[in-house]
């Protein structure tokens, strides 16, 4: 027999890609992005935007929220691309065109990347477009940034963790990016996170099943990361639901914390591409290693396994990502730099 949920009313509200109905504690950033996109309401070209800050500071939610808000007032093509998942020029352009509704014309084998760009430029001539490039510092072929910047009627919203994400790009691209609006997202305070959780809980959970003090405890455990806080609340709510509880217990929240950390580790490994998995495997096998030894072994293993070869710059970016996820430890600088398994 099916029974009515006692804890969860709408699980979607606690899931990763949910776009909230309002944005809390980001008034300055919200208004800045609205101002940048305002010209689209008068059929003008919007300003390109760069959102940066630590994970879980609301960058992606904000970008998607504002684009959805914009679409209520004007017709625009829109696309969201996670460049960590799709780092190549081909996959980025393919994803954009799919979002723009070009599935019939691009779903044929062997279509060249340049042809995808031509299709996009023809599509953009008719209607303005807004493209969100999340994890944009993971783009493998920087020429796609230049090509998109050169495409008429396209506004780009770049998202990255580091403010210096584009410092090593070709000077021509950096010059084009110099006019974009640079918007920083600071980590949330514990009280701000608690407010965000209260808002999500109001829509996601049955009224009265969670106490404000419990939400504050989750916020404190999340360390300024809204995504982490919402995930912990979701895991705790699912745990309480399984146990047929009428209210969220402190024990369910305590049990959610190690589950969340374990899920984080699993998620990190799942999003690694083949090159990153190979780098991690080599580092685990070699122990503490330097870049020269690592590059030699990586090049050999790449050829042996039939993987596409990548340049040293891309290898370094992949290593930075592994270090960012705390899957490896990086110490020292330049020729003295070493890598080891975390």
Neighbouring CB atoms inside 10 A of 164's CB total: 9
Please give the structure tokens belonging to residue 131. Answer: 């493209």
Q: pLDDT digit string (tens) for 240-259?
A: 999 999 999 999 999 999 99
How far is 264 from 2, CA to CA, in rounded Å? 31
* Cβ-contact 119, 151 below 8 angstroms: no
Do 36 and 156 reside in the same domain of the chain? yes
Query: Judging by DSSP bridges, how do beta strands 154-160 and 129-134 pair with one another?
Result: parallel
Do 256 and 287 reside in the same domain of the chain? no
Last residue of a domain, one of 217, 237, 268: 268
Instruction: Read off the pLDDT band of 2 (50, 70, 90).
Output: very low
What's the whole-number mean pLDDT along residues 202-219? 96
In a domain, 222, yes or no: yes
Q: pLDDT digit string (tens) for 137-165?
A: 989 899 999 999 999 999 999 999 999 99
The model's pTM: 0.85
In a domain, 213, yes or no: yes
Q: Give residue 106's pLDDT.
A: 65
- 6 vs 53, higher pLDDT: 53
How far is 290 from 308, CA to CA, in rounded Å? 22
Lowest mean pLDDT among 119-123, 208-212, 322-326: 322-326
* Cβ-contact 250, 236 below 8 angstroms: no
- 24 vs 270, higher pLDDT: 24
Please give the structure tokens belonging to residue 157. Answer: 């919203």
Q: Give residue 1's pLDDT.
A: 40
What's the whole-number mean pLDDT along residues 110-115? 88
Q: Give residue 4's pLDDT.
A: 65
Supply the CATH number for residue 299's domain.
1.10.10.10
DSSP 162: -
Do 211 and 155 reside in the same domain of the chain? no
How many domains does the structure of the chain reveal?
A: 3
Do 243 and 327 reside in the same domain of the chain? no
What's the whole-number mean pLDDT along residues 45-70? 96
Supply the CATH number for residue 264's domain.
1.10.8.60
- 215 vs 268, higher pLDDT: 215
Do 81 and 34 reside in the same domain of the chain? yes
Do 77 and 99 reside in the same domain of the chain? yes
Neighbouring CB atoms inside 10 A of 205's CB total: 26
In a domain, 22, yes or no: no
Instruction: Read off the pLDDT band of 109 (50, 70, 90).
Output: low
Do 160 and 199 reside in the same domain of the chain? no
Residue 102 has pLDDT above 90, yes or no: no
Do 37 and 106 reside in the same domain of the chain? yes
Range of the domain at 132: 27-185
The segment with the largest mean pLDDT, out of 26-30, 262-266, 294-298, 307-311, is: 26-30
In a domain, 19, yes or no: no
* Cβ-contact 191, 180 below 8 angstroms: no
Do 33 and 180 reside in the same domain of the chain? yes
Last residue of a domain, one of 237, 268, 299: 268
What's the whole-number mean pLDDT along residues 281-304? 91
Residue 272 has pLDDT above 90, yes or no: no
Please give the structure tokens belonging to residue 139. Answer: 């783009």
Q: What is the DSSP string of 158-205?
A: EEES-TTTTTTS-HHHHHHHTTSEEEEEPPPPHHHHHHHHHHHHHHHB
Last residue of a domain, one of 234, 268, 302: 268
Average pLDDT, the chain: 92
Q: Which of 131, 140, 118 is nearest to 63 (CA)?
A: 131
Residue 200 has pLDDT above 90, yes or no: yes
Do 143 and 236 reside in the same domain of the chain? no
Supply the CATH number for residue 87's domain.
3.40.50.300
Do 202 and 325 reside in the same domain of the chain? no
Do 205 and 302 reside in the same domain of the chain? no
Instruction: Read off the pLDDT band of 3 (50, 70, 90).
Output: low
């Amino acid at each position: 027999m099916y029974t009515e949920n006692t804890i969860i009313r709408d699980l979607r509200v606690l899931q990763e890609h949910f776009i909230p109905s309002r944005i809390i504690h980001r008034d300055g950033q919200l208004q800045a992005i609205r101002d940048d996109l305002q010209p689209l309401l008068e059929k003008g070209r919007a300003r390109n935007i760069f959102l940066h800050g630590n994970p879980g500071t609301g960058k992606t939610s904000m970008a998607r929220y504002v684009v959805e808000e914009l679409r209520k007032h004007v017709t625009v093509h829109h696309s969201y691309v996670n460049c960590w998942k799709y780092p190549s020029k081909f996959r980025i352009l393919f994803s954009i065109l799919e979002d723009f509704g070009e599935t019939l014309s691009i779903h044929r084998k062997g279509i060249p990347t340049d042809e995808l760009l031509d299709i996009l430029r023809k599509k953009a001539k008719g209607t303005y477009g807004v493209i969100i490039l999340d994890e944009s510092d993971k783009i493998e072929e920087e020429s796609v940034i230049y090509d998109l910047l050169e495409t008429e009627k396209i506004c780009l919203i770049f998202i990255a963790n580091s403010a210096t994400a584009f410092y090593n790009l070709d000077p021509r691209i950096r010059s084009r990016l110099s006019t974009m609006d640079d918007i920083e997202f600071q980590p949330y305070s514990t009280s701000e996170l608690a407010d965000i959780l209260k808002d999500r809980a109001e829509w996601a959970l049955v009224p009265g099943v969670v106490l404000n003090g419990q939400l504050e405890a989750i916020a404190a455990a999340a360390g300024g990361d809204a995504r982490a806080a919402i995930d912990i609340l979701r895991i705790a709510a699912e745990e309480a639901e399984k146990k047929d509880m009428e209210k969220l217990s402190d024990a369910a929240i305590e049990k959610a914390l190690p589950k969340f950390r374990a899920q984080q580790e699993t998620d990190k490994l799942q999003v690694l591409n083949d090159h990153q998995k190979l780098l991690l495997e080599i580092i685990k096998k070699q122990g503490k290693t330097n870049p020269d030894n690592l590059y030699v072994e990586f090049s050999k293993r790449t050829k042996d396994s039939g993987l596409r070869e990548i340049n040293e710059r891309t290898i370094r970016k992949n290593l930075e990502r592994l270090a960012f996820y705390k899957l490896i430890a990086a110490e020292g600088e330049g020729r003295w730099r070493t890598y080891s398994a975390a």
